[in-house]
Amino acid sequence: MTIEVAGLSKHFKVHRRPPGLAAAVRSLWRRRYDTVKAVDDVTFTIARGERVGFLGPNGAGKTTTMKVLSGLLHPTAGTVRVEGHQPFRREPDFLRRITLVMGQKQQLLWDLPPSETYALNRAVFGVDPAQARQTIAELTELLGLAGLTDKPTRQLSLGERMKCELAAALLHRPTTLFLDEPTIGLDVAMQVTIRDFIRDYNQRHDATVLLTSHYMDDVVALCPRVIVIDGGRLIHDGDLRALVKTMIPDKLVSFTGGVPAEEVARLGEVVKAEGGRTTVRVPEARLREVVSHVLDRAGADLAVEDPPLEDVMRKLFKDKRAGAPAPAGEPAP
């Protein structure tokens, strides 16, 4: 196992203060602290070469977990092993095997071209010059960095900068990748580029990938397995498709024209109808019947899709909070 987490908890002491100037003045000498359980008794393992999506609402504890896994934070309780090391010891051998990409922070030197950061990382990670050249050539090709790495970072667009950030984070060829919102703020085309690149890197180097993203498409496209946490607790760990099927056992069937309005209502619940295209929600048991019916009427312009992962997540969190039993988590492949 590349990543082993058992009973991990991370608690923070935070300073609480009611609003207002009077309270602010009082808090100068008397402070009340509350304990926040950012991560609470979380257990999972990830095998070499797996790509795992790490999901949860804002503040669920995703980033905290990633920081513990990459050695930035001391766990409050529990044991963590990554690449055979205890992360918080920050041993050089461990740090050379992992990387953490944070979409909202940057390591590139702001006033200098990314190539200067690469030179720094090459020296810091002790990468052999020939290997560094080869890695940079490979990353340049895969990410389309040509012409970017010699411009000062501050002159790059957000998307260009993110590509350069990824290259800086991967220069030492880590085998475990922690990616925290690597596509945040990027347009769809750039998201696809980054996604393809991550998959490619994973396959080329048999690298383990743990990814968080607000864009469910990233997760659907990249991660066969998802770990879901909410309020610091693990609420699902298993196959993504199985989760979708358990939570919303319906399919979305969409088609253009051909089907009279009164028949559409009988097919299933209409989710969307715009621009002449109708989408209905159909229980899986009736899928075959509905599809053949629509095909008879509407011809070939028909699509069957899983419900969006956003809906699945919303339902999962709602059920959890209402105290419904968790869906049976399937063992990871």
User: Widest CA span of the chain, in angstroms?
Assistant: 76
The long-range contacts involving 138-144, CB below 8 angstroms and separated by at least 24 positions, are 139/166, 139/167, 139/170, 139/171, 140/167, 142/197, 142/200, 142/201, 143/167, 143/193, 143/197, 144/193
Among 1, 36, 109, 242, binds another protein (CB under 8 A): 109
Cβ proximity to another protein: between 56 and 103 the closer is 103
73: contact with another protein by CB under 8 A: yes
112: contact with another protein by CB under 8 A: yes
159: contact with another protein by CB under 8 A: no
Among 34, 111, 262, 274, binds another protein (CB under 8 A): 111
Cβ proximity to another protein: between 121 and 208 the closer is 121
**Residues numbered 5-24 forming contacts with another protein, rule: CB under 8 A:** 12
176: contact with another protein by CB under 8 A: no
Tell how strand 225-230 and strand 51-55 pair up.
Answer: parallel
| Minimum distance from residue 232 beta carbon to another protein (Å) | 14
Stretch that binds another protein, among 101-109, 191-199, 218-226, 263-271 (CB under 8 A): 101-109
Q: Which residue reads 């419900």 in tokens?
A: 307
Question: Total binding residues for another protein by CB under 8 A?
Answer: 37
Tokens of 137: 């050539």
92: contact with another protein by CB under 8 A: yes
132: contact with another protein by CB under 8 A: no
Distance CA 294, CA 301 (A): 9
**Residues numbered 197-256 forming contacts with another protein, rule: CB under 8 A:** none
User: Quick check: 260 and 269 in contact, CB under 8 A?
Assistant: no
**Backbone φ and ψ of 308, nearest 5°:** -60, 145
User: Quick check: 139 and 173 in contact, CB under 8 A?
Assistant: no
First to last CA, the chain: 13
36: contact with another protein by CB under 8 A: no
Which residues bind to another protein, rule: CB under 8 A? 12, 63, 67, 70-74, 90-93, 95-96, 98-100, 102-107, 109, 111-112, 116, 119-121, 123-126, 152, 180-181
